[in-house]
Amino acid sequence: MRVSFEVNGRQLAADVWEGESLLYVLRERLGLWGSKNACEQGECGSCSVLLDGQLVCACLVLAAAADGSRVRTVEGMEADRVGRAVQEAMVEAGGVQCGFCTPGFVVSMTDLLRRNPDPGEFELREALSGNLCRCTGYVRIFEAAQRAAEILRGGR
């Protein structure tokens, strides 16, 4: 079947098997490698994308169900003021080690900071609880989120 989406502001289409996940189509059919394929069960957050403005695990969404939707992946975050601030803060805070989980954290942080540019610690931890990292121990990732919030509030 043929599906089409608006991905990062561009209209894209692909021929897919009905059982293919949005993640598979983004990576294998459309060449958008940013979202990572890790658990394939929606537990790790490495495949997080925004689907019609809602944070989802792309591994759990059938591509056919996303037909006609707007998808924003980590590749599209730089064009967004909030996403760019998050990416800069992740680098500055050293929130990136192996980088495998980074795209999911960037998308999740961007989603949170769009909704609330000044989250408290509990809200921050809750918003990022769906993302797993095996390298950093989370401290620098949380620091990055706080830096990004500061940037967005005009603190730098």
List Cβ neighbours of 21 (8 Å cut-off, separation of 6 or more).
Answer: 40, 58, 59, 60, 61, 62, 63
Query: Which amino acid, residue 75?
Result: E
pLDDT at site 136:
76
3-class SS of residue 106: helix
Query: What separation in angstroms does the CA of 144 have from each of 10, 50, 60, 61, 109?
Result: 29, 20, 27, 28, 9
How do residues 83-139 score in pLDDT, each as one tens digit? Answer: 999 999 999 999 888 888 999 999 999 999 999 999 999 999 999 999 999 887 789
Q: Is the pLDDT reported for residue 151 higher than 90?
A: yes
Compute the distance between CA of residue 84 and CA of residue 107 in angstroms, rounded to an integer. Answer: 11
Give me the pLDDT at residue 156, please. Answer: 60
